[in-house]
Amino acid sequence: MKASLIAPCGMNCAICSAYLRDKKRCPGSGLLNAKLPVSIEKCRIRNCPWIKEKNYRFCSECPDFPCARLKNLDKRYRTKYNMSEIENLLFIKEKGIREFIRNEKQKWSCSKCGGTINVHKGICSRCGMKLKPETED
């Protein structure tokens, strides 16, 4: 996991199905100047004027944070995957990207083999064991 894999919306691309797959692997939407797949190129959050034109790295830098789009994305991820982009962004803002990456490595690592837990499937990308990340109390 590295800082360039954290998307402007707060998604950790290192735990995403598209990044973890073997074929046609997504490079991650945190790479703001890279040639990206169409799905990322068309992302409404990534193409927000504050991100694209003002060169904000994260949505949390925006005066409209959290906007309706981010709230909708966050609601979907909280419901389906027990993860919050808004909480991720607040953590980064308060404690910094390095501490966030350390926390993510611990939270999304398989206790059996050390592989990465896929947020969308709830399985380890290395050993295939069905897992859920540790939840904070």
The answer to whether residue 130 is domain-embedded is: no
List, for residues 42-70, the tens digit of each pLDDT value. 566 776 777 777 778 899 998 989 999 89
The answer to whether residue 90 is domain-embedded is: yes
The answer to whether residue 135 is domain-embedded is: no
Distance CA 122, CA 132 (A): 5
Q: What pLDDT does residue 41 have?
A: 59
**Cα 71 off chain centre by:** 15
Look up the domain containing 27 and give its range.
3-124
The answer to whether residue 70 is domain-embedded is: yes
Q: How many domains does the chain have?
A: 1
List, for residues 69-124, the tens digit of each pLDDT value. 899 999 999 999 999 999 999 999 999 999 999 999 999 999 899 999 999 999 99
Predicted confidence band of residue 137 (pLDDT cuts 50, 70, 90): very low
The answer to whether residue 134 is domain-embedded is: no
Q: Decide if pLDDT at 14 tops 50.
A: yes
The answer to whether residue 132 is domain-embedded is: no
